[in-house]
Chains A and B, each alone.
Chain A
Amino acid sequence: MTNSDFGVSILDLGINNINSVRRALQQNAIGAGIRIESEDSALGNTRLIILPGLGSFAAGMEQLRQRNLDRYLSKAKMRGIAIVGICLGMQLLGEGSEESPGVEGLGLIKGKNEILPFYSNERIPNIGWMGGVPENEGSLFPALGKGKDFYFVHSYHLKLDNPKDSIFKSKYGDVEITTGIKHQSVMGFQFHPEKSSNIGNELIQEIIEWSFYEG
């Protein structure tokens, strides 16, 4: 891909891990310009916005609001620009979280985050490599269907109102949790593609291609 008219924006919340995401995008050798946005600005030629996550739900929302990035994301959603939340970034796309009662999420997708259920054979936080199965629009991204593991670090999971918005589900204890979401141009992954070795790179490449050509 060499069309540098396209742009990828990484949102900088001051508390998230933008360097790893930037490195992953660069490794994928896209011709697109990579921008770091730390406040609301013109969307310009942006075709893909990445919201990397690290931190607590409340801290993430506070940073988004302080920087008017909540507005930036709402505008992007209205224009159908691809938005991808990673880890906490995916959780922030929802409407709220048990982690931070009373704090409103971005509400770009219908659902709320809940603490992972307790299972004696699982640990919280849930840290490490875990696989999953694609469903619904998950077939758009072949990397999800290869049976490979991705890297997770989380204690909460997004419970969607509409099961059709789930594109990837993983087994946790005796239940299945949603670990990939997509509603129109709004997407999210509970795991870290940028830390998921080669399979993560493949997924990033597929997300970029979808955003630029299909989104």
Chain B
Amino acid sequence: MKVRIIPTILTDGQTVVKGTQFNNWRTVGMAQAAAKLYATRDVDELMFIDVKASERNSTIPDSLLSCFTDVLNIPFSVGGGVNSLEVATRYLGAGAEKVLIGRAAFSNPKLISEIAHKFGSQAVIVAVDVLNNDKGEIARKCGKDPVSLSVIEWAKELESLGAGELLLQSVVRDGEMRGMDYLSISEVTSSVNLPVIASGGAKNLEDCLQAVNSGASALAIGALFQFTQITPRNIRKHLEEHGVSVRVG
């Protein structure tokens, strides 16, 4: 399967934001404008996450979801506030290919199985927030409250619960653009058979290539596209030049 480049669009419910270490928000535009822009650039897939939904105890409204369905003819995933089968059903019914489960994976792991049973496991992405892999810690609640649990064990458990994909995010590297967590990528991809989307820290094309060579099936990218001139097409081209198979569009 070809490696996917997935721009992430983060929102706080109102505006499009980009986090540096998951807080300190910067407004960079509105969600639909961003989605449209990426759609015209013909990206492989998009990921749209309301990072404050759980905090606000709310979900993404249908009106916002439909502005994605209306403009996108590529797949997109939606995350934020997915804490019940009802929410997942609504997001998927609105046109999302997949839902992203964040903190509910800890508070209600059964939800992963429920969604997988109803929609198939390919519809469930679970976020694994790695705080500090040297200490074997994964984090929950969007980067705060570290839990001491081996990333590998947790990834295996998520696979057996029915997750279809893992979004492996490096909390300490998020938005920092100082290289990705290649160790975690390589450990997780060699211990589960699921596709792993790597995220956090890419600063240049070399980082992207290294993440793919470490085993990532896809790269979710935020800051790199927002704060540099690099485009998804640049990454695809760079990967291709180094023997990685990428989409023929």
Q: Report yes or no: B2 in contact with A123, Cβ–Cβ below 8 A.
A: no
Residue from B2, B42, B66, B120 within 8 A of A54 (CB atoms) = B120
Q: Report yes or no: A201 in contact with B73, Cβ–Cβ below 8 A.
A: yes
Does A17 belong to the interface (CB within 8 Å)?
yes
- When distances are taken between beta carbons in the complex, the residues of chain B under 8 Å from A88 are 120
Q: Report yes or no: B70 in contact with A23, Cβ–Cβ below 8 A.
A: yes
A35→B74 CA distance, assembly (Å): 23
Selected interface stretch from A38-46, A78-86, A149-157, A207-215: A149-157
Interface centre among A20, A127, A194, A196 (most CB of B within 10 A): A127
- When distances are taken between beta carbons in the complex, the residues of chain B under 8 Å from A130 are 1-2
- Grouping DSSP codes into helix (H, G, I), strand (E, B) and loop, the A interface class, with mixed when no group exceeds half, is mixed
Q: How many B residues have CB within 8 A of the partner chain?
A: 39
Q: Report yes or no: B118 in contact with A59, Cβ–Cβ below 8 A.
A: yes
- What per-residue 1/0 map shows which CB atoms of A92-135 lie under 8 Å from chain B? 00000000000000000000000000100011111111110000
Does A27 belong to the interface (CB within 8 Å)?
yes
Q: Report yes or no: B249 in contact with A59, Cβ–Cβ below 8 A.
A: no
- When distances are taken between beta carbons in the complex, the residues of chain A under 8 Å from B14 are none
Q: Report yes or no: A124 in contact with B69, Cβ–Cβ below 8 A.
A: no
A-B contact number at CB 8 A: 126
Measured CB to CB, the nearest residue on chain A to B248 is: A149
Residue from B45, B73, B96, B194 within 8 A of A200 (CB atoms) = B73
The contact size tier of chain A is: 35 or more
Q: Which B residues fall within an 8 A CB radius of A?
A: 1-4, 42, 44-45, 66, 69-70, 73-75, 89, 92-98, 116-123, 164-165, 193-195, 217-218, 247-249
Selected A-B contacts with CB under 8 Å, 19 pairs = A17-B92, A23-B69, A54-B119, A59-B119, A118-B193, A123-B193, A124-B194, A125-B120, A125-B165, A125-B194, A128-B3, A128-B218, A129-B249, A149-B247, A153-B122, A153-B123, A155-B122, A192-B75, A198-B249
Q: Assuming A17-B95, A59-B117, what are 7 further A-B pairs, CB within 8 angstroms?
A: A54-B119, A122-B1, A123-B194, A123-B195, A153-B98, A197-B42, A198-B42
Q: Which A residues fall within an 8 A CB radius of B?
A: 15, 17-20, 23-24, 27, 54-56, 59, 88, 118, 122-131, 147-149, 151-155, 192, 194-201
